[in-house]
């Protein structure tokens, strides 16, 4: 097994306090918490990309459904 590489990062005390408040349990390490936050951000990005993709598809379909000559007939009535 290889050695674990550990580093020290500097954060504002207010950030440390905020991290303490969102811990799920008192013994949860900051490393575990940060891994969870990173996963959450990555999942949110992926979900947002998927939502944008669906929105683009829906826009094209709605344009196809509403931009047609048959519906234009109602404007003349």
pLDDT one-digit tens code per residue, 4-56:
788 999 999 999 999 999 999 999 999 999 999 999 888 887 777 777 777 88
Q: How far is CA 9 from the centre of its chain?
A: 25
19: Cβ contacts below 8 Å, ≥ 6 apart: 11, 30, 33
CA dist., res. 31 & res. 14, Å (int) = 17
Token pair recorded at residue 55: 């929105």
What pLDDT is stored for residue 1 in this prediction? 53
What pLDDT is stored for residue 73 in this prediction? 59
Q: pLDDT confidence of 74, banded at 50, 70, 90?
A: low
To 10 degrees, the CA torsion angle through 45, 49, 50, 53?
Answer: 170
> Residue 75 pLDDT more than 70?
no
Token pair recorded at residue 59: 């826009």
């Amino acid at each position: 097994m290889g050695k674990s590489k550990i580093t020290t990062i500097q954060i504002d005390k207010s950030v440390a306090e905020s991290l303490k408040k969102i811990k799920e349990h008192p013994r949860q390490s900051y490393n575990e918490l940060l891994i969870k936050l990173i996963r959450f951000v990555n999942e949110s990005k992926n979900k947002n990309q998927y939502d944008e993709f669906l929105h683009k598809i829906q826009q094209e379909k709605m344009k196809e459904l509403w931009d047609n000559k048959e519906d234009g007939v109602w404007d003349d009535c």
